Each structure stands twice: as C-alpha cells, then as structure tokens.
Amino acid sequence: MTTLAVGPTAARPQRAVLRLHRPALIVWGVFLLLAVVDLVWVHLFRMPLYRVQLGCSPSPDCYDLDYNAFTDVYNVMNLTGEVLSYVSVAVAAWAGAALIGRELESGTARLAWTQGISPARWLIAELTAAALPLVAGTTLLGLVFAWVRSSDQDVLFADWSYARFLIPSGPLSVALVLAALAVGALAGLALGRTLPALVAAAGVTYALRHLFGDKWDDIWPVRRYWPVQISGTVLLLVIAALAVTAAFALLARRTDVKGAAV
C-alpha cells in the first residue's frame, strides 16, 4: 500500500496534490498551449490573408479563395470558441471523479487524514491546487480570445451573444470554471464514488453552461455585453461559494470534525 510521508507532505499538502494530479496538469498545459497557438495563428496569418482576398472580391478569380479562407477562419474560430465554452464541463467531470471521488473511493483521502492532514485542510489543498492553474489558464485563454475577436471583428461579424463567443471572451469563463470545480468537489464528497460523481458534476455544469451561455442574455430587455457578462459572473461565483460551503459542511459532518484547524 502506498503511504503518505509525514512531515513535508503534511506541512505542504498542496505540493502532494500537485504531484498526485500531475498528468491532469500536463494535459491542461498542453491544451492551453494548443488553444493559444491556434488563436494566434488565426489572427496573424489567416485573418490578414482573408482581408486581402476580400479586397479582390467579387472577381471570379477570387471566389474559390474567398470561400476557402472564409471556411478556415470561421470554422477555426467557431470550433475553438465552442471547445472553450465547454471547458467547464470537463473540469467538473475531472473534479468530481479524479480530484475528489477517486480519492474517497480508493481510501487515499482517509489515509491522508491519518498522516497529519485534517479533512478540512485536505479539501482546501485539493481545491487550491486545482483552482490556481485553472483560473490562470482560463484567464489567459479569455484574454487571447477576446483580443482576436475584437481585433478581427470586421472579418468575423460574429454575434457576441453566441455561447461560443460570449463565454470564452470574458470573466464568465473563469466564473464558470470555478463553479464547475466547486460542483465537482461537492458531487465527489456527496457520492464518494468516481463514476457517479463524474456524471452528476458534468450534468449540473452542462446545465449551468447552457443557462449562462445560451439563455442568460434573453432575460435582458436591452441586451448588452457587459451587463450579461458581469451579472452571469456574479451569480456563478455565488453558486461556487455555496457549493464550496456545502462541501465543507458535508465533509465535517461525515468525518465528525467540527471546526478543524486549517
């Protein structure tokens, strides 16, 4: 049986969590790199080419070139935006299954609690170690996506209310990822098993993504980008805070730890 070292691990649980979930961090880093390279490639190489080709339209000699460039630019941006808008669902599935559910199901969490790490401190370490790279990476993607979209709006002509543009280009994406992490943690603690926690967390987060990505702008009598972004962000952060509070309350009840030292 694998044992947890008392001392450095107990003193620095975040470091132990990072080691445990290193493969997920590597996958996240590779995803970030590919997404940023993809967006920069579209902005620096495809968009200028498309503008040049638009300049010679409607000449018959440019028709095929226009269509191909149009397909490249729009398909790449639409696909990238769509993928980024669903990152939260993947985060929720991972948080529910691997971050919390698997550790409870396998007994790794309880083993950690016997090695000088209180349940509350264990959960804080799990959430913090996941939240920092997720927030940093999602913020980076949001800034790059918003830069490309605003710089090339003359070519894209994309409605900001489409979920594939609304979610990735503002703070809504960060709030959605944090809500997904919190929902995943709560599902993992509530169910204590990998697969059920994965399904429940992904399902709830998919519903949140649909509500705030596809429906939220419809409630506004005057549709504006920033009111939709900010109000959705605030509500998602409230949902995240409630889910985290419920997770700690559930953990305390299940482990009979009241007011555990952090």
The 3-class secondary structure across the chain, one letter per residue, is: CCCCCCCHHHHCHHHHHHHHCHHHHHHHHHHHHHHHHHHHHHHHHHHHHHHHHHHCCCCHHHHHHHHHHHHHHHHHHHHHHHHHHCHHHHHHHHHHHHHHHHHHHHCHHHHHHCCCCCHHHHHHHHHHHHHHHHHHHHHHHHHHHHHHHHHCHHHHCCCCCCHHHHCCCCCHHHHHHHHHHHHHHHHHHHHCCHHHHHHHHHHHHHHHHHHHHHHHHHHCCCCCHHHHHHHHHHHHHHHHHHHHHHHHHHHHHHHCCCCCCC
Q: Rounded distance, CA 131 to CA 185, Å?
A: 11
Q: Rounded distance, CA 164 to CA 226, Å?
A: 16
Phi and psi for 217 in degrees, rounded to 5?
-70, -20
Given this model, what pLDDT does residue 262 score?
38
Given this model, what pLDDT does residue 256 score?
67
Q: Rounded distance, CA 118 to CA 260, Å?
A: 7
Task: Give the type of residue at 20.
Answer: L
Given this model, what pLDDT does residue 115 score?
83
Given this model, what pLDDT does residue 4 score?
39
Cα torsion 65, 71, 74, 80 to 10°: value is -130
**Under a CB-based contact definition with an 8 Å cutoff, are residues 50 and 70 in contact?**
yes
Look at the block and give the residue holding tokens 């504006």. Answer: 224
Print pLDDT tens along the chain (262 aa).
333 333 334 445 667 777 778 889 999 999 999 999 999 998 898 888 777 766 665 555 555 554 555 557 778 888 899 999 999 999 999 999 999 999 999 888 888 888 878 899 999 999 999 999 999 999 999 999 999 988 887 777 678 899 999 999 999 999 999 999 999 999 999 999 999 999 999 999 999 999 999 999 888 877 899 999 999 999 999 999 999 999 999 999 988 644 444 3
Given this model, what pLDDT does residue 78 score?
87
Given this model, what pLDDT does residue 62 score?
57
Residue 237: both structure tokens together = 């952060």
Residue 18: C-alpha distances to residues 21, 30, 68, 180 (Å)? 5, 16, 44, 19
